[in-house]
Structure 1
C-alpha cells in the first residue's frame, strides 16, 4: 500500500507527541515520586486512595476527640479531688465538734468554717471549663447545676445526659461527668425519724436518736414493710419493738432489745438495718429506774417525702405555696408524678395537677377545687397563701430522702453546730445524733465521689488503649497509601531513561526517513 507524505507526517508527529507526553509525565513522576496524581493515572488505585483518605481523616478526628476528652476528664478529676479534700476537712471538723468537750463558742466557730467549706464545694460543683461550659450539668452546659432553695437546701438543675465523642470505629466515650452521678446519688444514711409518743411531755429521761441506715441491704429488704414501728420501754433494761400491725419484732433488734440503764450511756440499738443511739438519763431521786423508764415510747419510721414547690415566673397573681404535705399516702404513692409535678389553676379555686413538663397533649393526673387555702391533689395538700388566678402554675418536686447531696448534709451540720447545747445533756445527746448522721453522709458522699473518679479513670484507660489502636491504624494507613500512590525511584528512572532514548531514536528515524522523499531527487 502507499502512504502519502502528509499522512506519514501526521502519524509520525502523533507518535512523537505521545512519546513526548509519556516522557514528560515520567519526568514529573521522577520529580515528585508520586505515581497517581489524577484518577486517570490509576482508576482502581485512586478509588482505594479515596477510601484510605477518608479513614485517615476519621483517625485524625478521633485523635482530636481523644485529646479533648482527656483534657475534660482531667479537669473533672481535679475538681472532684478538690471536693473530696474539702469534705475530708469537714469530717475532721465534725469529729472535733462531736468530741464531747467543745463549747457552744467552739461549735459556732466550727459552723463558720463548715459554712465556708459549703460555699467552696458549691463553687466547685458549679465549675466551668475553658469554654465557659459547666462541668457537671450534663447536656445543660449553660445552666449552673446547683442553686440554693428558699429553705436552705440545694437543687440540681442539670440532667443525666452524657456527651459522647467518637474515639474509634463504632466506639464512643462520655466526655462529661454529670452532677447526678457524682453528687445526687449519694446514699442518705439519715432517712429515718423517731418521735416520742409517751409521756405527753418529754421528761428527758430517754433520748432516742433519729437513726442512721447502717446496713442498706437489710433496710431496703425489711424496714419499709413494717413501718411505722413502735419502740416501747418495758423497763430500764428492756425495750420492745412492734410493727404497724402490732407484731412483736423485738427479736430482730440487737441483743433482743436488752439495753443498759447506766445513766447517760450512749448505746446503740440496731434494728432492720437502722442504727439508733439511745441514752438513759436518770435524775436525782430516781431510786427505781425501771419505774421511771417504763412507759416511754416512740414511733420509728422512714422520713416522709418533702417537696420543693415554687411559683412560675409568668404567674399573674402573687400567690405562693407555703407548704406541701402528704395527707393521703395511698393516693400519693399511686398518682403523684415521681419526676415532678405542675399545679395549674384553671380559675381562682379550681386546679389540675400534671406530670412535669406540661405539653400541649398533657392530661391531668388529678383535679380538684380548693378548700379554704388548701389545694389537695394526688394525696398532697398544697397550702396557698394569697388568691391565685386562672393560669397560675406552681412546680413541685418531691424528695424521698433516699439520697442527699452533700451541700444539704453540710447545711444540716451547720444548723446543728449553731444550736446552743451547753449545760443541756438532752440537747447534747440530740446534737451528737445529728452529727453522727452528718458524718455518715459525708462518708457516703466521699464514696460517691470515689465512684465518679473511678469512672473517669476507666474512661482514661479506654482512651489510652484506643490511642494505641488508632496509632497502629494510622501507620498502616500511611504505609498502604504510600504503596499505592508513591513510585519506586529506581523503576521510574529506568523507565524515564528508556522513554528518553526512544524519543531520541524516534527523532533520528523521522529525520532519516524524511530525507528519502522524491523532492530530494529533483
Structure 2
C-alpha cells in the first residue's frame, strides 16, 4: 500500500498533537491533583459532584440557620429565666401579705413592690433581640407585644405564628416563642364568681369566695353545663345547691352541703371542680338556725369581657367605652373567638369581622346603631362620639379561661392596696383574693416553665441535628474528594508513559521522514 507524503505528515502531526495534549493535561492534573475540571473529564462524576455541591451549600445554610436559632434561643432563655425569678418574688410577696400580723401599711408596702415588679415584667415581656425585633411578638417583630389598656388590664398585640427555619433536609425549628403561648395561656384558676342575691343588703354574716378551679376536667365537663347555680342556706348547718334547671345537686358538694356555723376558720366547699371558701360571721346573740336561712348566692363562670382599641388611623375620635353580652345565644353562635374587628361604614352602620380583617373578609354580623349603642352578634358596644366611615376597633375577647401574668400581678397589687381596717369580712375577702393571686401566679409560673422546657428541648434537638449536619458535611467532602481529586502515583505513572509515547512519536516521525524518495535523489 502506498502512502502519500501529505497523508504521512497529516497522520504524524495528529498523533503528535494527541500525545502532546495528553502530556499537557496530565501535567496540569499532576500540578493541581484535580481530576474532574469539566463535565467532559467525567460526565457521571461531574453530575455527582454537582449534586454533592448543592448538598454542601444546603448544609452550610443549615449551619447558618442553626447559629441564628441558637442565638435566639439563648436570648429567649435568659429573658424567661429573669421573668421566672421576678414571678417568684411576686409570689413571696403575695404569700407574705397573708400573714395575720401584717397591717394595711405592710400590705401596701408589698403592693408598692408589686407595682415595680409589674413594670419590670412588662419590660421583660417586651424584650428585643439583637436585630431590634420583639422576641415574644410572633411574626409581628416590629409590634410591641404587650400594652396596658385604659382600665389597667393588658392586651397581647402579637400573633401566634412561629418563625421556622430549616436545619435539616426534613427538619425545621421555631426560632421564637410567642407571647401568646408563654404568657397568655396560663390557666386562670379564678374563673368562677359568686354573687349574693339575698338579703338585698349584705349583713356580713355569710361570705362565700369566688372559688378556685381545682380540676379543669370536672369544671369543663360538669360545672359549665349546669350554671348558673343557686346556693341557698336552708338551715343553720346546711346549704342547698340547685342547677340552672332547678335540679338539686347538693349531693355533689363536699359533706353534702353541711357546714359548721361555729367554725372560725374558713371552711372549704368543693363542688364540681371548684373550691370555695365559706366563712360564717355570727354576732353576739345570733343563732345560726335563725339568721343564716334566707342567704342566697348565685355561682357561675365569669362572663366573657371585651377590650376595644381604636385604630390609630380612624377618621373620627369616637371611642368604645363599654361592652357587654346582651344576647348569649347570638354571642355563642356567631361572635368570633379570640378577637374581632368592628368596622363602621357610616356614622350609624357597622360590620363585625373575625380578626384579622383582610380584603377577602366577610362580615359575620351587620347592623345600625341604636342611639350610642352598636349591637353585633349578641354584644352591645357603647360608643362615645360620632363614628365616621372606615372607623375600626379591635375587639379582644377575654373568656377568663386563661390569664396573663401581668393581669394577675395587677390584681394582686389592687387587692393589697385595699385597706381592711381590721374588718373581719374585708380580711376574709382579702384572703380570698390572695389565694386567687397565688394560685394564678403558680399557674403562670407553670406555663413559663413549660415554655422554658420547650426552649431547652429545641436547644438539645438543635445540638443533635448540628452534629448530624457536621457528619454529613464531612462525608460530603470525602465523597467529593474521591470523585474530583487524583491519585498522585497514578497521575505520575500516566504522565511518564505519555511523555515516553510523545518522544516515541517524535522519533518515529524523524525515522519515517528519512524514507522519502527525495533522500535517494
Fold-level similarity (TM above 0.5): yes
Q: CA 1:23–1:335 in structure 2 vs 1: closer, same or farther (change >3 Å)?
A: same
Contact 1:107 1:418 in 2 (8 A): yes
Provide the C-alpha distance between the structure 1 equivalents of 2:7 and 2:46, rounded to a whole number of angstroms: 38
**More displaced, 6-15 or 433-442?**
6-15
Counterparts in 2 of 1:319-338, with a 5 A limit?
319-338=318-337
SS across alignment from 2:282 = coil
The answer to whether residue 95 in structure 2 is matched with residue 95 in structure 1 is: yes
Provide the C-alpha distance between the structure 1 equivalents of 2:392 and 2:442, rounded to a whole number of angstroms: 39
**Where does residue 137 of structure 1 map in the other structure?**
137
Provide the C-alpha distance between the structure 1 equivalents of 2:406 and 2:115, rounded to a whole number of angstroms: 10
Q: CA 1:26–1:61 in structure 2 vs 1: closer, same or farther (change >3 Å)?
A: same
Q: CA 1:85–1:518 in structure 2 vs 1: closer, same or farther (change >3 Å)?
A: same
C-alpha displacement of 1:83: 1.0
Aligned residues: 521
SS across alignment from 1:121 = helix
SS across alignment from 2:387 = coil
Counterparts in 2 of 1:400-411, with a 5 A limit?
400-411=399-410
Provide the C-alpha distance between the structure 2 equivalents of 1:16 and 1:122, rounded to a whole number of angstroms: 84
Provide the C-alpha distance between the structure 2 equivalents of 1:47 and 1:362, rounded to a whole number of angstroms: 50
SS across alignment from 2:474 = helix
Gapped runs of 5+ residues in structure 2?
none
C-alpha displacement of 1:164: 1.2
**Where does residue 66 of structure 2 map in the other structure?**
66
Provide the C-alpha distance between the structure 2 equivalents of 1:361 and 1:479, rounded to a whole number of angstroms: 53
Q: Deviations over 1:274-313 (max 9, x none)?
A: 1111111122232x22212222111111000111012333
Counterparts in 2 of 1:90-489, with a 5 A limit?
90-262=90-262, 264-286=264-286, 288-489=287-488
Q: Deviations over 1:141-174 (max 9, x none)?
A: 1111111111111111111111111111122111
Contact 1:223 1:273 in 2 (8 A): yes
Provide the C-alpha distance between the structure 2 equivalents of 1:296 and 1:148, rounded to a whole number of angstroms: 39
Provide the C-alpha distance between the structure 1 equivalents of 2:268 and 2:412, rounded to a whole number of angstroms: 21
The answer to whether residue 36 in structure 2 is matched with residue 36 in structure 1 is: yes
Provide the C-alpha distance between the structure 2 equivalents of 1:68 and 1:77, rounded to a whole number of angstroms: 14
TM-align CA RMSD:
1.8
Contact 2:239 2:257 in 1 (8 A): yes
Provide the C-alpha distance between the structure 1 equivalents of 2:214 and 2:495, rounded to a whole number of angstroms: 86
Q: CA 1:72–1:251 in structure 2 vs 1: closer, same or farther (change >3 Å)?
A: same
Provide the C-alpha distance between the structure 2 equivalents of 1:319 and 1:266, rounded to a whole number of angstroms: 48
Provide the C-alpha distance between the structure 2 equivalents of 1:394 and 1:120, rounded to a whole number of angstroms: 29
Q: CA 1:357–1:480 in structure 2 vs 1: closer, same or farther (change >3 Å)?
A: closer
**More displaced, 338-347 or 160-169?**
338-347
Provide the C-alpha distance between the structure 2 equivalents of 1:483 and 1:313, rounded to a whole number of angstroms: 64
SS across alignment from 2:261 = coil
C-alpha displacement of 1:375: 2.4
Contact 1:231 1:299 in 2 (8 A): yes
Q: CA 1:490–1:350 in structure 2 vs 1: closer, same or farther (change >3 Å)?
A: closer
TM-score normalised by structure 1 residue count: 0.95
Provide the C-alpha distance between the structure 1 equivalents of 2:472 and 2:390, rounded to a whole number of angstroms: 61
Q: CA 1:316–1:133 in structure 2 vs 1: closer, same or farther (change >3 Å)?
A: closer
Q: CA 1:132–1:199 in structure 2 vs 1: closer, same or farther (change >3 Å)?
A: same
Provide the C-alpha distance between the structure 2 equivalents of 1:6 and 1:50, rounded to a whole number of angstroms: 45
Provide the C-alpha distance between the structure 1 equivalents of 2:353 and 2:484, rounded to a whole number of angstroms: 65
SS across alignment from 2:401 = coil
Contact 1:264 1:282 in 2 (8 A): no
Provide the C-alpha distance between the structure 1 equivalents of 2:394 and 2:137, rounded to a whole number of angstroms: 20
SS across alignment from 1:277 = strand
SS across alignment from 1:505 = helix
SS across alignment from 1:28 = helix
Contact 1:253 1:269 in 2 (8 A): yes
Provide the C-alpha distance between the structure 1 equivalents of 2:495 and 2:351, rounded to a whole number of angstroms: 89
SS across alignment from 1:487 = coil
Q: CA 1:56–1:302 in structure 2 vs 1: closer, same or farther (change >3 Å)?
A: same
SS across alignment from 2:119 = helix
Provide the C-alpha distance between the structure 1 equivalents of 2:237 and 2:271, rounded to a whole number of angstroms: 17
Contact 2:367 2:375 in 1 (8 A): yes
Q: Deviations over 1:362-412 (max 9, x none)?
A: 444333343333222221121222333444333322211111110111110
Q: CA 1:44–1:299 in structure 2 vs 1: closer, same or farther (change >3 Å)?
A: same
Contact 2:338 2:398 in 1 (8 A): no
TM-score normalised by structure 2 residue count: 0.96
SS across alignment from 2:322 = strand
Q: Deviations over 1:215-263 (max 9, x none)?
A: 1111011011111111112233221111112211111111111112235
SS across alignment from 2:457 = helix
C-alpha displacement of 1:361: 4.9
C-alpha displacement of 1:137: 1.1
**Where does residue 53 of structure 1 map in the other structure?**
53
SS across alignment from 1:30 = helix
**More displaced, 459-468 or 85-94?**
459-468
Provide the C-alpha distance between the structure 2 equivalents of 1:482 and 1:151, rounded to a whole number of angstroms: 68
Contact 1:212 1:274 in 2 (8 A): yes
Q: CA 1:369–1:41 in structure 2 vs 1: closer, same or farther (change >3 Å)?
A: closer
SS across alignment from 1:132 = coil
**More displaced, 56-65 or 149-158?**
56-65
**Where does residue 18 of structure 2 map in the other structure?**
18
